[in-house]
A and B are shown apart, each in its own frame.
Chain A
Amino acid sequence: QSVLTQPPSVSGAPGQRVTISCTGSSSSIGAGYDVHWYKQLPGTAPKLLIYDDNNRPSGVPDRFSGSKSGTSASLAITGLQAADEADYYCQSYDRSPSGSVVFGGGTKLTVL
């Protein structure tokens, strides 16, 4: 069971907006630790989409955005495209009990 909770799956039609939530606790996201988001296509390494809550690396389209509030964070994808179909993971840090980087369980995005 992951320390960060994500919905197992989300879906949307092309052109629509979808959001993926990532729920932590007072010792992780709620403690102010940064949240990062990754996209993973089958058989490939993850790719960084969002870092430090809401920053996009060079080359990531502005259709992808991140936000954080309290003990949760969200990834929003607008103008959904077939190429967005993938697994998405959030990552943060949990200082309890002994401090470690933690990942969410992952969310499968299906483009209908």
Chain B
Amino acid sequence: EVQLVQSGAEILPPGESLKISCKASGYIFTNYWIAWVRQKPGKGLEWVGVIYPGDSETKYSPSFQGQVTVSADNSISTAYLQWSALKASDTAIYYCARPRGGSSWSGIDYWGQGTLVTVSS
């Protein structure tokens, strides 16, 4: 059974760094893209970026390029999303998700449970 299990909720002040995780199981981690999707409170879905663990290729939405970093550790089948300096506008739920096909824009058939990141002083 495919599962994506994300790290727990975080509450941090502005300016802090953060790295959230997404542990995958039930499939060959290096064979599928892993994406990150943001959802601000009461708002819609936004594509953040994606990584192919097989060769570490990453792609970012223009809105998030330079703002976050997507990475993966194949030895523990875990993907990460990190910030070097959080802003209040980063407050949101972040989902990791696995596109079903061979392209990064394939439909997403598996989602993590979401990680709530709250940035507040």
Give the chain B neighbours of A46 by CB distance below 8 A: 45, 95, 108, 111
How far does the alpha carbon of A98 sit from the alpha carbon of B62 in the complex, in Å?
A: 7
Q: Is the CB of A48 within 8 A of B113?
A: no
Give the chain B neighbours of A52 by CB distance below 8 A: 106-107
Query: Which of B62, B95, B107 touches A45 (beta carbons < 8 Å)?
Result: B95
Q: Is the CB of B44 within 8 A of A33?
A: no
Q: Is the CB of B45 within 8 A of A45?
A: no
Task: Determine if B32 is an interface residue (Cβ-Cβ < 8 Å).
Answer: no
Q: Is the CB of A103 within 8 A of B47?
A: yes
Task: Determine if B20 is an interface residue (Cβ-Cβ < 8 Å).
Answer: no
Q: Is the CB of A104 within 8 A of B44?
A: yes
Q: Give 21 pairs: A residue, B residue, CB < 8 Å, sorted on A.
A: A34-B105, A34-B107, A36-B107, A38-B108, A45-B111, A45-B113, A47-B111, A48-B107, A48-B109, A51-B107, A52-B106, A93-B105, A97-B62, A100-B61, A101-B50, A101-B61, A103-B37, A103-B44, A103-B47, A105-B44, A106-B44
Q: Which residues B72-121 have CB closer than 8 A to chain A?
A: 95, 97, 100, 104-109, 111-114
Give the chain B neighbours of A106 by CB distance below 8 A: 44-45
Residues in B lying within 8 Å of A, measured CB to CB:
35, 37, 44-47, 50, 59-62, 95, 97, 100, 104-109, 111-114
Task: Determine if A91 is an interface residue (Cβ-Cβ < 8 Å).
Answer: yes
Interface of A is mostly: strand
Residue of B nearest to A97 (CB): B62
Q: Which residues A22-70 have CB closer than 8 A to chain B?
A: 33-34, 36, 38, 40, 45-48, 50-52, 57
